[in-house]
Amino acid sequence: MKIMGWCRPFRDRWDQTSERCCYSFPCLSDPARRSSLGLKVAMVLLHLVYVGVLFLLDRDLIVKIKTETWYVAIYLLLFVATLAQYFFTSGSSPGYVIDAMRAANETDARFGKKSLTSKQPASSKNGNLVVTVEGSQLGRSLLESNSTTWTKLVMDMYPPGSSVRNWTCTYCNVVQPPRAKHCHDCDKCVLQFDHHCVWLGTCIGQGNHCRFWWYICEETALCLWTCILYIMYLKTNISRAWWMDAIMIVLLVTLSISLIFLLLLLLFHSYLVMTNQTTYELVRRRRIPYLRGIPERVYPFSKGVCRNLYNFCCVWSSIYTLESLPTAQELEAKSKPYTCLDVLSCRCCC
């Protein structure tokens, strides 16, 4: 009892300090945001440890700073760019369905509901809906407007006779367009849902998949370059203190494992980009109703490698692209095997 009474002042002081921190920094009051912030700090510290140990122990690298300044400058520039891309990707929106619905309703209201007069109100020539969203118009609360425009817009992308109830999210109560899925971690429906990245603390979807790919590419390059520097250090300084070599070997082993994982991840997502697929569609293909009857070697949303790469890299993040389901004729054309004439005419690219 005496020990508990002696610890009580420290506990009260700790509670007061925690309350002040939560009041000064509102992000610390939310457990999810607090864990996400802690993960970001851990990622930065992990990068600093791997690079900092190298600069502390490798004397040849210190000499290189004076003799070959450009070499170290490029390496440090890649290091900073990788961390900047990490925060840029983790803070970006994956493209939520509710934001696209709000943008469609605002666009319809602005133009006097002209979109209701056509079969596909805001669709382009290739059957894709493009909604331009200005950041100043997006609020955090749902607009209290009629969702008839959005419902009609989405249902036109499904086969005739489809029921609205089958494509309405039971959590968000919004009609999901094709390729959208509800994320239980973010508690929102995401356009072209790929996966929820724990390391970034956000979903990967239509709005940030390109940024995610570039982050993996930069992280892979940084990891590979750091591995090379570690190997060069061990080759030239193997006769020095054993504890330095032990530290470098342990770090090199963990770094090599991370490099293998990053290379596989980069190749996997490059394949997804060229075929216009998502991780969720590839893994859960048989569970998605509109993909069950399609053969595995057929990519229903692919428009050719070149156009897939263009749409992935060159479409701005402020534009929501809703893809309609392909027709039976389009699926039949895509399921045909390639011939020599198709290869010469670059059918796979167009």
pLDDT tens by residue, 107-124: 777 766 554 454 444 444
Closest C-alpha among 300, 83, 312 to residue 205: 312
**Angle (nearest 5°) at CA 112 between 108 and 113:** 45
The Cα 244–Cα 236 span in angstroms is 13
Quick one: CA dihedral 180, 97, 173, 110, positive or negative? Answer: negative
Residue 254: the pLDDT is 95
Q: What is the pLDDT of residue 165?
A: 87
Q: Which of 197, 217, 227, 349 is catalytic?
A: 197
Rounded to an integer, the average pLDDT of 216-220 is 97
pLDDT, mean of residues 21-31: 49
Average pLDDT value for residue range 294-316: 86
pLDDT value of position 265: 97
Which of these ranges, 3-17, 19-33, 185-199, 246-260, has the smallest mean pLDDT?
19-33
For residues 141-151, give the mean pLDDT.
56
Q: With pLDDT > 90 as the criterion, what percentage of the chain qualifies?
A: 37
Q: Is 203 a catalytic residue?
A: no
pLDDT confidence bin for 279, thresholds 50/70/90: very high
* pLDDT of res. 341: 60
Q: Which two tokens stand for residue 295?
A: 């053969």
CA 69 to chain centre: 34
Name the pTM for this structure.
0.80
Distance CA 161, CA 165 (A): 12
Residues 130-160 as b/e (b if ≥16 CB within 10 A, e otherwise) read ebebeeeeeeeeeeeeebebbbbbbbbbbee
Q: What is the average pLDDT across 161-176? A: 88
**What is the pLDDT at residue 125?**
41
Asked if residue 211 lies in contact with residue 92, where contact means CB atoms within 8 angstroms, the answer is: yes
- Per-residue pLDDT, 96: 93
Q: Which of the residue ranges 119-123, 225-229, 335-339 has the most confident prediction, judged by mean pLDDT?
A: 225-229
Q: Which H or E element spans position 274? A: helix 242-275
Comparing 182 with 36, which gets the higher pLDDT? Answer: 182
Confidence of residue 166 (pLDDT cuts 50, 70, 90): confident
